[in-house]
Each structure stands twice: as C-alpha cells, then as structure tokens.
A and B are shown apart, each in its own frame.
Chain A
Amino acid sequence: MLQNIRSNIQGTLAKVIIGLIVVSFALFGIESILLGGGQSGVAEVNGEAITAFEVQQTVNLQRRQLLSMLGDDADPSLLDDDRLTGQAIETLIQRELLVQAAGDLGLMTAEQTIGAVVGDMEQFQVAGSFDQDLFRSVLATAGFTPALFKESLREDLVTNQLRAGLAASDFATPAELALQARIAGEQRDLRYLAIPVDRFDKTDTVEAEAVAAWYDDHPERFMTPESVDVSYIELTLEDFEEPVSEETLREEFDLTRDSFDVPTEARVAHILLIQSDDESDAAYAARIAEAQAAATGDEDFAAVAGRLSDDIGSASVGGDLGYTAGDTFPAAMEQAISALAVNAVSAPVETDAGTHIIKILDRREGKAVSFEEVRGQLAQRLRESAARDELLRIVEDLRDRAFNAEDLSAPAEALGLTVERAEGIPREGAEGRFADPRVQSALFSEEVLVERHNSPVLELAPQRYLVLHADAHHLPERQPLDAVRDEIATRIAAERARAAALEEGERLLAALAGGERLDALASAGEYEWQVELGATRSANALPTALGRRVFTLPPPEGEAPVRELVSSPAGDIFLVELTRVTPGSLENLPAQRENQLRRSIAGEYGSIIIGAYEGALRASAEVEVY
C-alpha cells in the first residue's frame, strides 16, 4: 500500500494537497481535527457553547444561595430543578455575553492577578497561608478542576472590570444632589387618627340567609380536592427478619472467625545479599559474614542496611519492609521472623532472592475474638441476609401475582401478607409514603386510577417495596353549605367591618370639615391619635399604607390642612391631616445621609447603564437555547 501511495503522490495536485495538510497541522495542531465540532452544549452564544456542566454548577450554587437565604422551610417550587435550570441558563448567557464583550474591548486578566486572588481566598488557606492540597480537594468536592476554576475566576474578574469601568464610574453632580436632597430631605408635619377594622367585626351577627346567599353567589368556591382511597402492600426488610438459632450462630462463627481475629504482625527490616554472576562462592560467603558481623555489632542496623544491602528498594529506608502477618514473605523468611524477638537479628536466611539478615523492629500482638463479642454483629448479619433473600423472593412472586390479579387481596392471601388501607390521598400535598413522586405518578396513572389495575411493585428505597390498588376515586366536589357556614360568616363579617370602618372614617372626616378637632373626635370615639413632625420619605414611624399616601399628597395651601382617608390592606382606616411641608435642602442634611444620596444617585444611573449595556448585547447577539 505504501508503494501505491508513493507512486500516487508524484502528481502536482497530490503534492498541493499534502502541502495543505502539512500547513494545517503546523498551524492548528491535531486538536483542530480531533476536537472540533461535536459540542454537547445546552445553549450557544455567538457560537460559544454553554455546557451542561456549567448549568449544573450554577443550579447548585443558586439552590445553596436560596436555601441559605430562606432556610429549610423554603418554598419547594422555588427550588424546582426546571425553574432553576431556566434561570441558570439565562444567567450564564448574560455572563457569556459580558465575557465576550470584555474580550472585544481587550480586557483581560493577568495570570498574576488570578494567582493573587486564589491565594487570598480563605477557603483555601491553612493557618493563614495558601495550601495547594486543600485547594485541590475543595475544588474536587465542588466538581471543579483547578484549570476550570481559574477560568471561571478569570471570567468573573473581567466581567467585574467591565462593570466597574462602565457603571461604577458613575457620579452624582452637585445639581443632582441638591435636587434629590430637596425631595428626600422634605419634611412633612401631620396628625392622624386610626380606626381599627377589628372594632366593627361581628361574626355572630351574620344572618343565616346572608350566608346562604353568599354560598349560592359563589358556586366555584369550596371544592374538595381530588383524592383516591387506596389499598396497598408495603414490604420492608424488617418484615422478614427472624431470630437466628444459637446453633447457626456458632456454625457461622466457626466458619468466619478468621475475619474477626486480629493477627499478630511483625515489622521487619532486612539486609539482602545477592551473589553476582562474576562473584566466587568464597567472596560471596565473605560478604555475608561481613554483613552479619556488622549487623550484630555496634553499628546501627539501618545504617548497615543502607551501606551493604543489595535490595535497592529498602536499603535507603534502613532495610525496612513494613509489617507482615506471616504471609507476606517466603516461608523460610517468615519462619525466621516468627522465631525472632523484637530487636533481635537473625542468622543469614536463604531464599530464592538471595541471603537475608533479618531484624524485627516491632511486633503487634494479635487478638482472638470471642463468640460473645461478635455475637450481636453475627446475628444481625445472618438475619438480614436471610430476610433479604426472602424479601426478594416474595417481591418477585408478588410482581407476578399483582400483575395478574384484580386487586391486592388474592396476592396478599397467597403470600401471607397484610393489605393496608388509606383514604383521601390527594393529587398534591400527600404525606408520607404517598408523597413520593413515583407513588404519585403510579397512583394517578390511567391504568391504576381508571382501569383499576394493580400498580407495578415500586422500589421506594433499597429493600422497601410498595404496590397499590385504587379502591375509590373522589373527583372534586362542592362542600355542603353546613361544612363551610362558619368560614362564610367570617368572610361576610370582615367585608361588613371594612365597609363600616370606612363609613366611620367618612363620618369623622365630615366632622373635621365641619370644624371639629381631630383630638376631640379621637377621645369622643376612643380612637388612638398621633402627631408626627418632620416625617421624611425614608424616615418616619407611619404605618406603611399611610406613609406612602402622605408623601403623594399635595402640600397645604394657606392655613387649612390637607385631609385624606387612607385604608390599609387589612382594612384599618387612617384619617390624616397634613399640616405643613418643608422642602429639604443639602445644608440641612447630615453628612452621612448626603453620602448615601450621592451613592444612590450614582448607583441608579450606573444600574440603568449596565442594564442597557447588557440588553443591547443580548439584542445583537446570536443566542440559541437547545
């Protein structure tokens, strides 16, 4: 074949082609052919793929953040994988766009900067200094390689630089500051009277006819949830555990006692001498004698081993071979070892490897384990293994029988199992075993719910099985009036109370307009009233709804106050008199507040700018989500 190729490349065209191949390899390397194409991306941003790995990392991160923010009782729908994945892809697209834009602007991160940032991160430090091993292990736990982590850090740094350059460079001009100070520093004096809605709430006075009418007017309310009554068989390992006889335990102990015994181990060092090909027997014997004399003399055994041993592996560590339990070395050697006391040196021992001079460095005495000590452990092991076999056998049998039976009673009887019942399992918000998504989807499947077949035998956990049969299906239906009478009465009473409170407010307002004073009205009606002087938009002690309304009222003209009725979402009514509005000014603002305003003005402009920048990037990008 090579001859064939050789003769074929004589043509000019062939040479050109080979030239091109050579050039492309030289320029782009073999990776261009091996690694090109074949991307497993989730999305693509201007041709750059976003990988499933990145999405998963981001989802995990967001979930951790949500959990730490909301605690354990976080709404599970917020942590839903689909939802988080959608958000994560969006976040990553936005980030990729910024990374690309930063690249186009020529922003980059020096290797040194990355090194400094990594070195400064506390999670990679032991006793205040960077630790390479900790670095790798922390990353490995999070699923990163160091290269990947540094790449992501590099991206963080350049996007951060881009934001800092564009948005954090924003400022507040003196004119803007003065303007904002006029508004933010504006002070309003007012007094108000509170009419609590509770005072008008009279549930027990709601007439039966009104309740009935309300019930009839709202036919879509008070539906019971869809639910199913089920019978089920649940199998667990414990159900099949039976006591083990003393005899079986003894037997098992005799069979497996070796695995419990702790063997006696000796730590051994040796000097190995090997006769080389051109060495005479006499010279070899002389060498052995020399080593033997040195090893038993005053010189340290380890030093002698280092000097004389032909075993290259152990010579450098003083001849140390580690521990043996009697089965590591050739028999002749083990025999010598077992005969030696600690720190004693043996006479030369011959093995296939050569001649050994052995020293025992340490001996750990073994321990035989008594039956009583391991009895509990053994019994549990035997019980579980027997139960496991029985469980699996029954489960197999149950699969067949449940598949062929009308309901669960016949299979249960045949196998000696108990059928349990549960009523009113809802489609959502079920508890315990019925909350398991596999149970839910089996229970509400066509075959089980409509055709009334037994469900497949579900493995809920290792050694825990469940099979279900739907006995009755309750569609949503309207609760009878009697069941919801109290609920309706409460609702009507609340509606009436709101109206009554508002009416009372209007009455008092009219009285004020007629020349009465707020404090007099308050004491006559036993209402609380308050004066608030110098309230500002950001600092006031007003109820939220009232505070919001007070600062949208026009300032009073002349002496007469501006009056208004404000209802809170709960239905409480506030009757307010705004008496004076003093515009704010920079001079009257504390320095700290002034700085705050400066930052918030710059921050607001910066925020619009970075938002517009990202929006424009997105609009002009080619983004594809698969």
Chain B
Amino acid sequence: MESYRTEEEQVEALKRWWKENGTSTLVAVLLAVAVGSGWQGWQARQQAQAEAASMLFQQFLDTLGASEQSGDAAAGEALATRLATEYDGTAYARFAELHLARLHVADGDLGAAEAALRTVLAETSPKEDLHRVAKLRLGRLLAARGDTEDALALLVTDGANPYAGAYAMARGDVLLAAGRDDEASAAYREAQSLADPARPLPGLAEKLDYLNPQPPTAGAQG
C-alpha cells in the first residue's frame, strides 16, 4: 500500500492512473453492462415465450373440453398446430404434437398422426419420457395400419423402460388383432403383472377373461 502525503498528490496519482487505464476500464465496464443486460433480456424473452406457450396450451385444453361436446375438432387442431410451429422446441410444442396425433387418429387420418408422432421422436432422445410415449403410440398406429411386424419391433422394451406395462398391453392388442391369441394372452398377463393395483384396468381384465375361458367344473360337464 503506497501512502500519499497530500491531497494534490492523491489527485495527481488518480489522474495518472486514469490516463493509463481509463479506456480499458471503460471498455470493461461497458462490456459487463452489455453482457448483463443482454442476459437479462434473453431471460425475460425466454420467460415471456414460455408464458405465451403456456397460455396457448391452456387455451387449447379449454377448447378440448368444449369440443368434446360439440364434436368439432377444427378449433383445437388449429391451436395445436400453432403451438407446434410457433413454439418449436418447448415441451408445449411436443404436447401439442401428441395431441395432434390423437386428433388425427380420431379423424381417421393415420398418416398425419404418424407424422406428428415421428416429429416428437425426432426431437427427443430415446431415454426421454416423451420419446418412449411417442414410440409406444407409433407402434399402436402401425399395427392399426396392418404393419404387425413393424409394430411389434417398436413395442419391444428393455428392463429400464418404466412404460413396460403399457408396451406389453399394446403388444397384446397387436397380437390379438393378428389372431395370435396365445401370444396375446401372455403379453396381457405381463401387462397385468406390471400394473399398479391402485389403477384398475377393466378393459385389460376383460381381454384376459375373453382369452382364457374357464371350463365348467367337473360335475357340470354335460
């Protein structure tokens, strides 16, 4: 630490320092301000973007409730398409694609539904939940078009997939539709063994009953 004897000396020292370093200091400060405000601006933009997407999705959900009664899917489809294109890359856009797939299936346009699901698959990595969900639905869609083998190939799971129960149920549906009852029955059993007891699956139980009739007890044989 230097020490200065008089105020003039201090002022002199400051002036000297400013002459040597003034420009670089100014540049550094300006740069810091620019970066800081840029970062804040970017964050605010992101926030506004996400909020807008959220509001649009909320609006979409509200139309769905309404169109459930009227049977008019066009308004929902328009909103979902807007979400998917304008907010590309957000989770909302992917949700919108999943819903578009659903709306197209309801319309009977399986090709468009497949395209929507493939978009989600392309935009997500294989371990993501949305990816696994989209893959499951794509498999079911392929089966509906008659591509049984392609569908079964998509619906294979490894041990780490939390959706194994749903995949097994879908395999059962594909196999049963293809007339392979025994394999279907095994797949349904697997689905049932993976099911959460707190979430009853009456449709699955019906299919199992259907595939596994219980012959009459011995005394009743006519």
Contacts and interface: CB of A to CB of B under 8 A. Distances in A.
Interface residues of B, number: 68
Given A106-B91, A183-B206, A554-B215, 10 more contacts: A161-B54, A165-B57, A165-B99, A169-B102, A175-B140, A175-B173, A509-B220, A537-B206, A553-B213, A560-B222
B79 interface: no
Contact of B220 (A112, A157, A563): A563
Nearest to A610: B199
A609 interface: yes
Contacts of B209: 551-552
A607 B199 contact: yes
Interface string A583-626: 00000000000000010111011011101110110010000000
A108 B198 CA distance: 29
B159 interface: no
B208 to A, nearest CB: 10
A562 B209 CA distance: 17
Contacts of B215: 553-554
A222 interface: no
Interface string A138-181: 00000000000000000001001100111011111111101110
Given A108-B54, A166-B129, A604-B201, A171 B105 contact: yes
Of the listed residues A107, A112, A513, the one surrounded by the most CB atoms of chain B closer than 10 A to its CB is A107
B105 A173 contact: yes
A109 B61 CA distance: 14
A583 B91 CA distance: 43
A594 to B, nearest CB: 12
6 contacts: A165-B98, A166-B133, A173-B144, A183-B207, A604-B202, A616-B162
B219 A565 contact: yes
B204 A184 contact: no
A110 B217 contact: no
Contacts of A562: 216, 222
Contacts of B176: 179
A613 to B, nearest CB: 6
Contacts of A174: 108, 110, 144
Nearest to B210: A183
A620 B204 CA distance: 28
B166 interface: yes
B53 to A, nearest CB: 9
B58 A608 contact: no
A113 interface: yes
A175 B177 contact: yes
A577 to B, nearest CB: 9
Main SS at interface, chain B: helix
A625 B203 CA distance: 36
A513 B55 contact: no
Interface string B120-133: 00000000011001
A609 B163 contact: yes
B54 A107 contact: yes
Contacts of B201: 604, 607-608
Contact of B222 (A169, A512, A615): A512
A163 to B, nearest CB: 10
Contacts of A171: 101-102, 105-106, 113, 137
A506 interface: yes
A178 B55 CA distance: 37
B176 to A, nearest CB: 6
The 7 closest A-B pairs by CB, nearest first: A165-B95, A173-B144, A169-B98, A554-B213, A616-B162, A110-B51, A105-B91
A553 B214 contact: yes
B94 interface: yes
A229 interface: no
Contact of B90 (A106, A164, A512, A537): A106
B91 A107 contact: yes
Given A10-B1, A175-B173, A184-B206, A110 B166 contact: no
A175 to B, nearest CB: 4
Interface string A548-563: 0101111100001111
Interface string B173-194: 1101100000000000001000
B101 A612 contact: no
A564 interface: yes
B51 to A, nearest CB: 4
Nearest to A10: B1
Nearest to A602: B102
Contact of B199 (A161, A565, A601, A611): A611
Contact of B55 (A113, A506, A509, A565): A113
A169 B105 contact: no
Given A113-B55, A165-B91, A172 B166 contact: no
Contact of A612 (B51, B163, B207): B163
A107 B92 contact: yes
